[in-house]
Structures are given as C-alpha cells and as structure tokens.
Copies of this chain bind each other. A is one copy, B any other.
Amino acid sequence: MVHSRIDDKFLEALAAACGGRISLSEDDRRTHGSGEAYHAPMPPDVVAFPSSTDEVSRIAALCHDAGVPIIAFGAGTSLEGNVAAPFGGVCLDLRGMDAIVEIAAADLDCMVQAGVTRLHLNKMLRDTGLFFPIDPGADATIGGMAATRASGTNAVRYGTMRDAVLGLTVVLVDGSIICTGTRTRKSSAGYDLTRLFVGSEGTLGIITEVRLRLHGIPETVRVARSHFETLADAVSTVTQIMQMGIPVARVELADAAQMRAINAYSRSAYPERDTLFFECHGAEGAVAEQIALVEMLVRTHGGLDWTIALNAEDRSRLWQARHDALYASTAQRPGSKGYITDVCVPVSRLGDCIELAREMIAKASFPATIVGHVGDGNFHVICPIDPSSETERKEAHTIADALARQAIAVGGTCTGEHGIGLGKLDYMTIEHGQAGVDAMWLIKRAFDPRGLLNPGKVLPKPSTESPSS
C-alpha cells in the first residue's frame, strides 16, 4: 500500500536525510516486508539505508512531521511478521550500520552498531579471548536481537538479550536520541529504560547502538548427546538436570522426526530418535563434574548411545545441524514455509506441554517436528506448511493456539524468544490480562502518541490514534 503522506517532496527529503540511499523497487520492498516464516509479505512504501544514528534521527523527525510509519529492519530473520508493514511507511534497513564501535576487553563489554550480526561480532572478538554467547541460530543483527529479546541455545547459562544488553542508543519517534544504561552490571539509578526497549520490537524507539556484556571463552567445552526410548524420558532427564541446578550451557531437544529431517538436510547419520544435546562450559574439573552428573541422569532415564563429541569440528557440525532445524524441517516439503510455535513453560510442566504437542502433531497432515531449548522450558513445533493453503495454515494455527493457551495456563508464555509481532497478538490479553495490556498501552502512547513506530505490532487492539492512510 502507498501511504498517502509519502509524496515526491517526502521522498526527496528522505533521500537527503541518508545520503540518497533509499529504494522504491518492488523487490526491495517485498524482501523488507517479510521475515523467515509463513506470514505473507506486507511491503513498506520505501526502504531507507541509514549509516548513522544521526541519519536515523533525521529520518525519524521527517516521518514524525509527516505522520508516516517507520519500521526498523535487521537481518530479516524474524518469525512473527515483526517487520511487516501493514500500514506502509518507511522501512529502515540498519544493516549498513555495522561498525564495532568499541571492544573493552578489560571490562568484558563492547559497543556495536545495530546492524552488526552476531557471527560478525564473534569473528571480531576472536583475538580477545572473549565471545558473545547469545545464539538464536540465525545470523541475526544485534539490534534485531535486542528488539525481540532473542535468546537461543546458550540462554540456560548466559541468559537472554535482557541480560546481555548493558545499554542502548535509541532514536525516539521525534528524532531525539537517548543513551540508556551504564557500563556496570549494577545500577539503581532510575527507571530501567534499557530493559524497556529490549523486546519492544521497534514500537517505542529505534535501537541504533547496543552495549553488550561479553564472556571469556571457556577453558573447556564439552558436548554430548544421547537418545531415548520415549520423548517423555528425554524431557524427564532435562527437568531433573534443571531442578538439580547443574550449570549446563545448553540443553537442546530434537524429536525423532526432527532428527530424520536433520539427517536428510545435513547429510548426517544421527540416530533418528528423540535426542538430547548437551554442552558444558567452564574450568576443566568443573566441566568434568557437570558432564558426569548429566551422564548419570541420562542413564537413569534410559538414555542410549551416550556420545561425547571428541573435537571442535564434531561439536560445530552437531550444532550446525541443530541450528538448521528450521531449514531442515521445511526442506522436507519443497516450497513450504515454517509455522513455528514458541511456548516457554516452567520446567515442571515441560513434560505435559511436550506431550500435548506430540499428540497434536501425530494427527497433523504435514510432517511437523519438535525442537527446543528445553533447559529454559522453551520448545518449538515446526509445521512446514504450504503458504498458499489456508487449510494447512489453519491446521498449524490450531496446534499453535492449543500450545499457547496451555503454556499461559501453567504460568508460561506464548513466546519465549520470537516476540509478538503480528502473529501472537491474540495472546497478549490472555497472558497479561486487560490491565497488563492497558499498562503497556500507557507506555506506548507516552513514547509514540501517534502510533508511528512499527504500528500494529506487539499490542492488540491498536489505539484510536494509530496511523491510517
């Protein structure tokens, strides 16, 4: 759709604000209106490619004056329609902002521009002995990860983006610039603006720089896997590991169907059974203790074929296979797109919730798989659906809806790490209550009274002030 306030004069000013780097091409607009999942693209009217916080500020001020929506875009790997442009407007592609501003190795932190990807950051850190642990699988941008409160496989030990972000540079809707947080781990100085913007999906401001906490590369890393007679046995193992507080770095689950899909996609030969992957980090003795405890629990729960990856190459092949789960799952059906659930539940309820998932996908008409960061109680059902089939979309939705409602009923959340975007709007009121959603609207209206920042996302029932063309 073309936003009525976007005219030649606006486009001229927009181009002037970012060194002429804008695009109106259909191809650019389409790719900037979609993520990696099943949602139909909703293209913005124009894509701008700013290279600095100042340029973002100028564009925001321009859009603010003209009443035009503005949507931040990173690597395009989001899964819930988080970057769709249902009201048109300007998409801000931040990938040009890819500078590592500072690496403060002595303080275990760094400052990067929002467009730096996590793999690039870790490459740049290689000589420092430090690494950035948050690993959502996709090579997302740090800005996008902050905006969706991403996490992934390492969160069991290192936390999520909520914990990793020390401070932010944020451009507010009128173009003003704020710097949040401090370089210290602790502060009691006022409201936690950093945590407010982390996870706000570009609806309160545009994140342009991120200060991140880093960690020393562990002296010892040990990776192991085992498979189980039943999914329930695998889940019980995880539950007990977490309840005993064993400080593992990652505990990942892939069900038998997922292992089959992985083998086909990655040309690997893992046993096609319900499998757990473990990784432990730390000093040598500490890791040996952890792995011994994990092995004991695995064997107690009937784990078979306990295998420790012998070298770095084995380890990275194994994690690559795990990370390719989504692509492996959709590769089962060429042309399909993933409809992916993302519930996160208290570990004591993980068994029930995964059992419900198992029952539902057994009846599904597509080859759905289960994979997850079960150490955090977070798991995904990947439904490879034909994006043009309304029937399949509905069928996947039925599974996702049942899981989300069950997760919320047991004290969990409809989304552990993918965010609300457009896809999870219906669950906000169920999860937070009307009073909770109303409190979020107080914040949204305070920061974006005219509803120009990524409109239609995160909060259900757009306020009456939301933009219309």
A residues contacting B by CB (< 8 A) are 104, 106-109, 148-151, 155, 159-160, 162-163, 172, 176-180, 182-193, 195-196, 198-200, 204, 215-216, 239, 242-245, 247, 282-286, 288-290, 293, 342, 344-348, 376-378, 410-420, 424, 427-428, 431-433, 435-440, 442-447, 458-459
Contact = CB atoms under 8 A, between A and B. Distances in A.
Given A104-B348, A159-B163, A285-B285, 9 more contacts: A149-B187, A177-B435, A180-B432, A184-B377, A184-B378, A190-B432, A191-B200, A285-B288, A439-B447
Given A412-B182, A427-B189, A442 B436 contact: no
Given A106-B348, A196-B195, A188 B442 contact: no
A178 B412 contact: no
Given A108-B245, A286-B283, A431 B182 contact: yes
A192 B198 contact: yes
A342 to B, nearest CB: 8
Copies of this protein chain in the complex: 2
A58 to B, nearest CB: 16
A436 B106 contact: no
Contacts of A342: 188
Nearest to A205: B439
Among A192, A376, A433, A439, residue most surrounded by chain B Cβ atoms (within 10 Å) = A439
Contact of A347 (B106, B189, B447): B106
A191 B199 contact: yes
29 contacts: A104-B346, A106-B348, A109-B346, A149-B187, A151-B186, A159-B185, A160-B185, A176-B435, A178-B432, A178-B433, A182-B344, A182-B412, A183-B346, A184-B413, A186-B417, A187-B344, A187-B413, A188-B415, A189-B413, A189-B415, A189-B420, A189-B432, A190-B458, A191-B196, A191-B444, A192-B196, A215-B245, A442-B446, A442-B447
A55 to B, nearest CB: 18
A461 to B, nearest CB: 13
Contacts of A427: 189
A184 B416 contact: yes
Nearest to A460: B190
A420 B195 CA distance: 18
A414 B106 contact: no
Contacts of A416: 184, 186-188
Given A189-B420, A198-B192, A107 B347 contact: yes
Contacts of A186: 151, 155, 160, 344, 376-378, 413, 416-417
Given A191-B200, A378-B184, A442-B446, A179 B433 contact: yes
Nearest to A424: B189
A147 to B, nearest CB: 10
Contacts of A199: 188, 190-192
A240 to B, nearest CB: 10
Nearest to A283: B289
A38 B458 CA distance: 45
Nearest to A106: B348
A160 B189 CA distance: 14
Contacts of A189: 413-415, 420, 424, 427-428, 431-432
Contacts of A417: 186, 188
Contacts of A182: 344, 411-413, 431
A342 B184 CA distance: 13
Given A184-B378, A186-B344, A192-B162, A172 B216 contact: no
Contacts of A188: 148-150, 199, 342, 413, 415-420
